[in-house]
């Protein structure tokens, strides 16, 4: 048995999170099951995952990268995160819309995932009709920092993965995007459960506002990488969800006088909010 080590976090920006592999959740389920069974390793050997999941090494590498981006696995060690452990126990086949929403939020709200992040922050909220070409236009500035060959190869490949995830893979159930002829349009969006919104707010705090105990509703609606922007929640949809959270332990919604904010009264992390969500389904 390999001695356990502290999980590592990969802080490097990634132009290609997927290397062209699609977000196939049935394969994610196999990898998550394997890594959960192998959690006793400090750093899980790729060969062990390959053997248990019945996938090729290259599949494990590239699908695993997507799972790291979604917050299911730790980078480098490939051990399941706390969120990955909760999902493995409560929704191992990714059937629940709440699971899909938190994974969407995790991968799309992280600026390290350059292509996914810009599509969610800049393209989907602003374009009535989305095409691969209109997506590529928001990455022109990258030409100054990456080679022309890399730009031409990796950006279109990653865009295809993102658009495919929301129209052909399990994320399509969110109706975040839908295919429309030769392009895509924003969908009507399935309802975000209140406790999943709370998990997203906790992740937003931990990733973008460390040390803050209160976040204005305006920031939750409009700031880059905020739950409002990434989940596609306008004020008309956000307010009822916050109202439903008003009496939840660990969160306080203050909408009176000159206060219009959400106060996180303790450090409850996203995986504990998701655990609470699964307990009440």
Does 185 lie in the same domain as 85?
A: yes
38 and 133 in a single domain? The answer is: yes
Q: What is the pLDDT of residues 173-213, one digit of tens each?
A: 999 999 998 899 999 999 999 999 999 999 999 999 999 99
| Residue-level pLDDT at 11 | 52
Give burial (CB, 10 Å; 0-12/13-18/19+) of 240. exposed
Examine the domain organization and report whether 112 and 229 are in the same domain.
Answer: no
Residues 169 and 238 in one domain: no
Same domain? 141 vs 209: no
Task: Write down which residue in 190, 222, 248 finishes a domain.
Answer: 190
Distance CA 255, CA 217 (A): 9
31 touches 67 (CB < 8 A): yes
Q: What is the DSSP letter of 130?
A: B
Residue 121: which domain range? 1-190
The pLDDT confidence band at residue 5, using thresholds 50, 70 and 90, is very low
Q: Based on the domain organization, do 198 and 138 belong to the same domain? A: no
Regarding whether 122 and 101 lie in a shared domain, the answer is yes
Last residue of a domain, one of 132, 162, 190: 190
Report the domain count for the chain. 2
CATH number of the domain at 269, please: 1.10.10
Tell me, what's the pLDDT at 7? Answer: 45
Handedness of CA 275, 264, 9, 230 (dihedral sign): positive
Q: What is the mean pLDDT of the chain?
A: 93
Instruction: Look at residues 190, 217, 243 and tell me which one is the last residue of a structural domain.
Output: 190
In this model, does residue 150 exceed pLDDT 60?
Answer: yes
The pTM (predicted TM-score) of the whole model is 0.93
């Amino acid at each position: 048995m390999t001695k356990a080590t502290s999980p590592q976090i990969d802080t490097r920006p990634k132009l290609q999170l997927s290397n062209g592999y699609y977000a196939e959740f049935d394969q994610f389920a196999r990898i998550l099951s394997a890594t959960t069974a192998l959690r006793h390793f400090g750093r899980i050997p790729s060969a062990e995952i390959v053997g248990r999941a019945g996938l090729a090494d290259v599949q494990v590498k590239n699908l695993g990268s997507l799972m790291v981006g979604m917050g299911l696995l730790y980078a480098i060690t490939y051990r399941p995160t706390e969120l990955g452990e909760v999902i493995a126990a409560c929704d191992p086949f990714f059937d629940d819309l709440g699971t899909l929403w938190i994974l969407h939020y995790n991968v799309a709200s992280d600026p390290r995932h350059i292509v996914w992040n810009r599509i969610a922050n800049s393209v989907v909220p602003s374009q009535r009709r989305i095409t691969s070409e209109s997506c590529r236009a928001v990455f022109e500035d990258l030409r100054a920092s990456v080679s022309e060959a890399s730009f031409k190869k990796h950006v279109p490949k990653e865009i295809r993965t993102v658009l495919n995830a929301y129209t052909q893979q399990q994320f399509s159930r969110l109706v975040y995007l839908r295919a429309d002829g030769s392009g895509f349009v924003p969908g009507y969006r399935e309802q975000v459960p209140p406790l999943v919104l709370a998990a997203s707010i906790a992740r937003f705090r931990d990733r973008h506002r460390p040390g803050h105990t209160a976040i204005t509703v305006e920031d939750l609606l409009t700031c880059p990488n905020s739950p409002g922007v990434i989940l596609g929640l306008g004020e008309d949809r956000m307010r009822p969800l916050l109202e439903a959270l008003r009496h939840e332990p660990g969160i306080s919604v203050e909408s009176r006088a000159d206060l219009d904010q959400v106060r996180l009264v303790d450090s409850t992390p996203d995986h504990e909010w998701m655990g609470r969500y699964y307990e009440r389904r």
